[in-house]
Amino acid sequence: MILHVDMDAFFASIEQAINPRLKDKPLIVGSRGNKMRTVVCAASYAAKALGIHSGMPSREAFSICPKLEFVAADQAKYIWTSEQIFQLLKGYGLPLNYTSIDEFQLELASHPDPLNLAKKIKEQIYANFNITASVGIAKNWLLAKLASKLNKPDGLTLINDSNFEQVLRQTPLDKLCGMGGKIGANFMAGGLKSCWDLYLNLPGFFNESYDNSGKPNALPKSISHSYTLPEAKINPRVIQAWIRLLSEMVATRLRQQNLVSATVHLWLNGPEIGNFGAQKTHQVLTNDGYEIYQRTLKIMARSRIQNPRIRAIGVTCSSLSKGTDQPLLREEIRREGLIKALDRINNRFGEGSIYPAITVLTR
């Protein structure tokens, strides 16, 4: 079992906890100090209720709500709080993954009372930092993360065998990690509406054992993700966006199991090319999604495939070994690099970017 902790409107909540005058007010945290020329990087729940969300230009947010409170982002404060929460969770003595600045995962194995543990964690976070967290519990990280989102803010949700179908039927597909952007939109255009529809089409997506809690010492031979598009696509942007997303999914799982990989394998299937597969082994080991993506692009460049139609894509990392635990700051730098890389891709390819779908994975 995985217990996923997701802080509620993290940056905005920290600002409100520090300055009680801001409590319960519509508030945005801006990425720059000029409140009219920045982008919303966090919105409080009162602001969200008005339709204000992160990624929105601040000017637009102020036109929705002229009395909006504004605070310039203070990364150091957020990183510091994140580290304190990490230390608090470490105190439970369970394997702990730091998935992003405001998300943490505990591996429960066969904990006798996960709901009670979750309650304790939520209370402790609130008592120490005066901010709330939502907790999701399920058999793997994908479902635990989904569960944490279902009753936000201050939520506590368990997905188990008895409510699995009901929860998935009730949950729109775009709530699922990785399905927030173009990719989810593609699925929905193909007729999939709920997570249950996706489950019926791709059961492995949910059932794959993402958690390694059962066999902590067994090193997997490889980690891979693949995906079949609803129809064969030729647009290289779409193909690259998919490879990028699959690379990030593989990298996330490598990091969750504290693994690094030397060999990257790319598999493509399409009406003209049939099955294409090639791999390359590198001396520098990695568990970074962007690096894995770059390595797959090199494989593609060497293959001299000229914009074929692609129906299915797979990214596999093998030659695995144990990595060292990445400290918080290193992870932050990696995230920063990822976001810059995504910006570059978005700038190059313009609107209809891959940004939303991929950042969901890292948030």
Q: How far is the CB of 53 from Mg ion (least distance, A)?
A: 13
Residue 107 makes contact with Mg ion by CB under 5 A: no
Nearest residue (CB) to Mg ion, 178 versus 308? 178
Q: How far is the CB of 11 from Mg ion (least distance, A)?
A: 9
Using alpha carbons, select from 343, 332, 344, 295 the residue that is nearest to residue 316.
295
Which residues are CB-neighbours of 119 under 8 A, at least 6 positions away? 156
Size of the site for Mg ion (CB under 5 A): 3
DSSP conformation class of 218:
P
| Span near Mg ion by CB under 5 A; candidates 18-26, 98-106, 209-217, 260-268 | 98-106
Nearest residue (CB) to Mg ion, 102 versus 291? 102
Residue 291 makes contact with Mg ion by CB under 5 A: no
Q: How far apart are CA 293 and CA 63, in angstroms?
A: 39
Neighbours of 155 (CB within 10 A): 19
Residue 14 makes contact with Mg ion by CB under 5 A: no
Residue 54 makes contact with Mg ion by CB under 5 A: no
Nearest residue (CB) to Mg ion, 12 versus 251? 12
Residue 332 makes contact with Mg ion by CB under 5 A: no
Residue 12 makes contact with Mg ion by CB under 5 A: no
| Span near Mg ion by CB under 5 A; candidates 6-14, 56-64, 214-222, 309-317 | 6-14
| Span near Mg ion by CB under 5 A; candidates 19-27, 60-68, 95-103, 175-183 | 95-103
Q: Is 103 a catalytic residue?
A: yes
Distances (CA, A) of 245 to 238, 251, 263, 293: 11, 10, 18, 9
Residue 288 makes contact with Mg ion by CB under 5 A: no
Task: Write the single-letter amino acid at 312.
Answer: A
Q: How far is the CB of 2 from Mg ion (least distance, A)?
A: 16
Residue 102 makes contact with Mg ion by CB under 5 A: yes
Phi, psi of 163 (to 5 degrees): -115, 5
Binding residues among 190-249 for Mg ion as defined by CB under 5 A: none
Nearest residue (CB) to Mg ion, 30 versus 270? 30
Nearest residue (CB) to Mg ion, 7 versus 250? 7
Residue 69 makes contact with Mg ion by CB under 5 A: no
Using alpha carbons, select from 149, 130, 129, 127 the residue that is nearest to residue 138.
149
| Span near Mg ion by CB under 5 A; candidates 18-26, 99-107, 214-222, 251-259 | 99-107
Nearest residue (CB) to Mg ion, 54 versus 171? 54
Q: How far apart are CA 42 and CA 60, in angstroms?
A: 14
- Residue by residue, DSSP assigns 225-240 as EEEEEEEEE--HHHHH
Question: Would you state the structure tokens that stand for residue 284, as one six-digit string?
Answer: 């520098």
Q: How far apart are CA 33 and CA 115, in angstroms?
A: 41
Helix (H, G, I), strand (E, B) or coil at 104: strand
Strands ordered across the beta sheet of 2-7:
96-100, 103-107, 2-7, 133-138, 156-158
Annotated catalytic residue: which of 103, 107, 248, 291?
103
CA angle 309-310-316, nearest 5°? 150
Nearest residue (CB) to Mg ion, 129 versus 242? 129
Residue 135 makes contact with Mg ion by CB under 5 A: no
Residue 6 makes contact with Mg ion by CB under 5 A: yes
Q: Which residues are catalytic?
A: 103
Could you list the residues that contact Mg ion (CB under 5 A)?
6-7, 102
